[in-house]
Amino acid sequence: MTADSTPALVKQADAEGPAPAGSPAVRGPRARNTQAYLKYVAAKIFGAAVSLFAVLVTSFFLFRLIPSDPVKQMTGGRPVSAEQLDSLRRQLGLDQPMWQQFTSYVGDALTGDFGTSFQYHAPVVDKITEALPATLLLTGTAYVLYSALGIWLGTRTAWRNGSKSDRFNTALALTLYSVPSFWLGLLLIIVFAVGVGPIPGMFPTGGLESGNESGFAYVLDVAHHMVLPVITLVAVGYAQTLLVMRSSLLDEMGSDYLTTARAKGLRDDTVRRKHAVPNAMLPTFTLMFVNLGHVVAGQILVETVFSWPGLGGLFYQGLSVPDLPLVQALFFVFATAVILANTLADLLYPLLDPRVGR
């Protein structure tokens, strides 16, 4: 570039005027971060939409692999002719070609219509709506308890790494985390519902209510029925949360920023509460959102063991036929709850860690 070219370029820039406000020359870091975050959000939402459609397709074909004929199961033990079986198949739409059943199912599901239950003869959406409050009550209560307990104990055990309480809590959590939830539920029923030796039966063996209470007595009755299934869910859930929180906090304890905080004269509790725990919460935060999806999905085995009238028990009953419209819809609801919870966690992650989404 010659000596005369620079003034010419300057004159040309002056003649063209200032750059537009949205041009890269004047776009600030905040605008770039916002654009990157919007792209991140769009990618996550698109991925969730693709996953939901994949679940919708999978829910149709998965339960048709079960080696059972719904019509014969529904008429089991009763003398029926071949003509009657064919008539029932036509009523249920099972006589149509597979591709036609699939297109009808997808088209109706996209409008929120999952058909009519084979065994209950009622709209599937109505059956799900009836059972959903019981599941939310049980799993929601357990979720709050085991999340709080797991985070609290995980923080204390990690901060006192190697102590007797750390070894005891870690060993107990590993034991409970490895125990099948249905087996633990059966054990609690045998010990505390039926009674063993000097231990009397103190709690109901299952169900949501006794059916003869009202008012505040009804609330106490429901709480009484919830004790054993909630303990079962909390025992397994808190163990998982504790182990994740403990591992995350141990990774942070050797960081330089904690040494700097101590060098400033901050108390050990303050260093843990305001510096170590917030940075160690990210993996636990993800786990909590995954478990949040299970609040809707419920716990099929636990609800079945305790005869809890929720979505899990409804799903188990639907599999026995199989009640295709019911199990397809429940599978879609369960998977949708988990996908949406994971997507929400992904969208909130950049707010906790600015490095994500850039």
Find the CATH number of the domain harbouring 274. 1.10.3720.10
pLDDT at residue number 189? 92
pLDDT at residue number 171? 92
Would 173 be classed as within a structural domain?
yes
pLDDT at residue number 1? 43
Would 145 be classed as within a structural domain?
yes
Place of tokens 């009640």: 323
pLDDT at residue number 137? 92
Cis ω for the linkage preceding 322 (within 30 of 0): yes
Report how far Cα 32 is from the mean position of its chain's Cα atoms.
Answer: 33
**pTM above threshold 0.75:** yes
Length of the chain: 358
Low-confidence ranges of the chain (pLDDT < 50): 1-16, 19, 21-26
On whether the CB atoms of residues 238 and 146 are closer than 8 A, the answer is: yes
- Region of residue 274 (left: phi > 0; alpha: psi -120 to 50; beta: else): alpha
pLDDT at residue number 80? 67
User: Would you list the DSSP string of 136-194?
Assistant: HHHHHHHHHHHHHHHHHHHHHHHHTTTSHHHHHHHHHHHHHHHS-HHHHHHHHIIIIII
Would 4 be classed as within a structural domain?
no
pLDDT at residue number 141? 93
SS3 of residue 75 by DSSP = coil
Would 160 be classed as within a structural domain?
yes
Query: Measured between alpha carbons, how far is residue 11 from residues 6, 19, 231, 253 in Å?
Result: 9, 14, 78, 59
CA-wise closest residue to 132 among 325, 333, 344: 333
Would 138 be classed as within a structural domain?
yes
Would 316 be classed as within a structural domain?
yes
Q: Residue 199's beta-bridge partner residues?
A: 196
SS3 of residue 200 by DSSP = strand
pLDDT at residue number 138? 92
As for how many domains the chain has, the answer is: 1
Percent of the chain with pLDDT over 70: 83
Would 202 be classed as within a structural domain?
yes
pLDDT at residue number 8? 45
Measured distance CA(83)–CA(77) in Å, rounded? 17
Would 134 be classed as within a structural domain?
yes
Residue 279, C-beta contacts closer than 8 angstroms, at least 6 positions apart: 252, 255
Measured distance CA(14)–CA(113) in Å, rounded? 64
On whether the CB atoms of residues 109 and 330 are closer than 8 A, the answer is: no
Domain membership of residue 201 as a residue range: 49-352
Measured distance CA(272)–CA(140) in Å, rounded? 28
pLDDT at residue number 2? 46
